[in-house]
């Protein structure tokens, strides 16, 4: 009996050594990379998970951007550079000649939707088909006809009045007018996007009256490191340095987990443009430096369908705009997500001091058992947290009173067990 027991302990140790070896191999297959946005985030960087940086583009060169797709109403503002849009509340387009901006400070500013590339700032007052905010859909011509006047604050702080007159959908062409608030320096533009289908958006400068191609081709990038107007805790809007996803890219974020976490098969893919966003970092007000969140792991399903693991390692802030991270390809095109039925357990932190956190996935509905033992097999903690839920299950063990040393955490669900060696320190 005693011999069998020690054989079991040996098996536990062997299992843990195997797990550590696999993690070490995974770390060796990961690679580090950096992007540099330049001081004060002068550039935005378009990035391919497979090929690295594909384009660094000056952020401060356009005011508004038009989506090239024929069946899109999206028009963005360059809100990360200080561009602010207001709907003129005193008249429709019939009041173009007599715009009165008294009371502007009380008007509600409009920014691009943080989640959806299609819902640009110009669409924030949309009421649903056929009203798309800046326009009404014409069911006969299929064109979008502008019905609103906008006041726009540009990158240099100056203001213009602006009227998006019409989108000729079949031709992917926009007609728009703009002028100084007093009507001086009037301009009329016809922006033809038929030759720009390789790009998602094309910009326009209302200061230089020029069309601006600022993006990488949409098939070439997965993420863009840029600044955008984000929603902060409490609901306020603030420009943040962030990582945004290309249309079609999907992300899963697991937090808090150890950086060795690898179970990308659980959870739901997030297809919003700010699935990674800005809060992978925080500012240390005592030491005046940025810190990255050291317990957040992302999985990125790319434009091509490959899946990469990603976590950030450093952020230099505005001095250089340098962002460093680790990435690892964990699945290729055509590889399905891991099948249910395997119990997966991640332990964090390890070594631990007061509390051990467990992150568990398995078959939903199975009863879970968690046992902490010492090397002799003596139980120190035994818990039955209940049934496994779908996705990631979090559970913690209080080890504040446990003597420093080496222990085992055994997690069981049905006939499946997982054993992990943990170290407890003072």
CATH code, 382: 2.60.40.1930
State whether 41 and 101 are in the same domain.
no
Q: What is the pLDDT of residues 124-156, one digit of tens each?
A: 999 989 999 999 999 999 999 999 999 999 999
State whether 127 and 143 are in the same domain.
yes
Average pLDDT over residues 237-243: 93
State whether 128 and 199 are in the same domain.
yes
Residue 171 lies in a domain: yes
CA angle 247, 77, 136 (to 5 degrees): 85
State whether 305 and 176 are in the same domain.
no
Does residue 222 surpass a pLDDT of 50?
Answer: yes
Out of 193, 212, 231, pick the residue that ends a domain. 212
Of 199, 195, 191, 196, the C-alpha closest to 215 is 199
Residue 15 lies in a domain: no
CA angle 316, 322, 326 (to 5 degrees): 100
Q: Retrieve residue 391's tokens.
A: 């996705």
Report the 10 Å Cβ neighbour count for 183.
Answer: 12
Contacts (Cβ under 8 Å, ≥6 apart) of 232:
238, 240
Report the 10 Å Cβ neighbour count for 176.
Answer: 23
What is the C-alpha to C-alpha distance for residues 156 and 173, in angstroms, rounded to an integer?
27
Does residue 366 surpass a pLDDT of 80?
Answer: yes
Out of 331, 349, 366, pick the residue that ends a domain. 331
Residue 359: domain span: 339-424
State whether 271 and 412 are in the same domain.
no
pLDDT recorded at residue 411 = 87
State whether 85 and 179 are in the same domain.
yes
Report the 10 Å Cβ neighbour count for 263.
Answer: 22
Q: What is the mean pLDDT of the chain?
A: 87
3-state secondary structure of 189: strand
Residue 268 lies in a domain: yes
pTM score: 0.76
State whether 101 and 161 are in the same domain.
yes
Residue 1 lies in a domain: no
Residue 43 lies in a domain: yes
Q: How many H-runs (helices) and E-runs (strands) does the chain carry?
A: 1, 29
**Percentage with pLDDT > 70 across the chain:** 90
State whether 107 and 177 are in the same domain.
yes
Of 165, 133, 130, 127, the C-alpha closest to 146 is 165
State whether 93 and 206 are in the same domain.
yes
DSSP code, position 131: B
State whether 49 and 117 are in the same domain.
no
DSSP code, position 325: E
Quick one: which H or E segment has residue 9? helix 2-29
Q: What is the pLDDT of residues 83-102, one digit of tens each?
A: 999 999 999 999 999 999 99
Of the two residues 33 and 380, the one the predictor is more confident about is: 33
What is the C-alpha to C-alpha distance for residues 170 and 151, in angstroms, rounded to an integer?
28
Q: What domain count does the chain have? A: 3
Lowest mean pLDDT, pick from 286-290, 300-304, 321-325: 286-290
3-state secondary structure of 298: strand
Out of 293, 310, 331, pick the residue that ends a domain. 331
Average pLDDT over residues 402-412: 85
């Amino acid at each position: 009996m005693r011999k069998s027991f020690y054989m079991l302990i040996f098996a536990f140790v062997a299992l843990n050594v195997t797990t550590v070896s696999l993690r070490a191999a995974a770390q060796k297959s990961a690679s580090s990379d950096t992007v540099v946005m330049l001081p004060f985030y002068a550039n935005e960087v378009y990035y391919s998970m497979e090929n690295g940086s594909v384009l660094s583009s000056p952020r401060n060169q356009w005011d508004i951007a038009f989506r090239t797709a024929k069946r899109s109403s999206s028009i963005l503002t360059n809100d990360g550079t200080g561009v602010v849009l207001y709907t003129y509340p005193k008249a429709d387009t019939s009041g173009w000649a007599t715009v009165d901006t008294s009371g502007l400070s009380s008007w509600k500013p409009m920014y691009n939707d943080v989640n959806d590339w299609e819902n640009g700032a110009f669409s924030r007052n949309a009421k649903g088909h056929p009203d798309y905010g800046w326009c009404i859909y014409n069911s006969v011509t299929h064109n979008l006809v502008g019905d609103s006047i906008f006041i726009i604050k540009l990158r240099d702080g100056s203001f213009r009045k602006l009227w998006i007159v019409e989108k000729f959908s079949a031709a992917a062409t926009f007609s728009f007018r703009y002028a100084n608030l007093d009507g001086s320096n009037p301009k009329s533009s016809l922006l033809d996007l038929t030759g720009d289908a390789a790009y998602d958006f094309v910009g326009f400068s209302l200061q230089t009256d020029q069309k601006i191609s600022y993006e990488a081709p949409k098939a070439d990038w997965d993420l863009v490191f840029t600044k955008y107007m984000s929603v902060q805790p409490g609901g306020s809007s603030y420009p943040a340095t962030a990582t945004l996803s290309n249309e079609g890219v999907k992300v899963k974020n697991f937090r808090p987990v150890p950086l060795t976490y690898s179970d990308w098969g659980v959870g739901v893919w997030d297809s919003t443009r700010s699935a990674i966003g800005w809060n992978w970092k925080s500012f240390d007000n005592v030491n005046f430096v940025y810190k990255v969140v050291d317990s957040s792991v992302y999985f990125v399903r790319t434009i091509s369908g490959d899946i990469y693991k990603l976590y950030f390692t450093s952020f230099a802030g505005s001095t250089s705009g340098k962002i460093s991270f680790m990435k690892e390809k964990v699945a290729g095109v055509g590889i399905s997500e891991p099948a249910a039925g395997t119990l997966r357990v991640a332990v964090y932190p390890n070594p631990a001091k007061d509390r051990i956190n467990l992150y568990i996935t398995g078959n939903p509905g199975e009863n879970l058992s968690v046992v902490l033992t010492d090397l002799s097999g003596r139980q120190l903690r035994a818990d039955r947290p209940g049934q496994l839920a779908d996705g990631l299950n979090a559970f913690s063990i209080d080890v504040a009173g446990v003597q420093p040393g080496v222990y085992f955490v055994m997690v069981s669900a049905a006939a499946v067990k997982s054993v992990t060696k943990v170290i407890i320190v003072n």
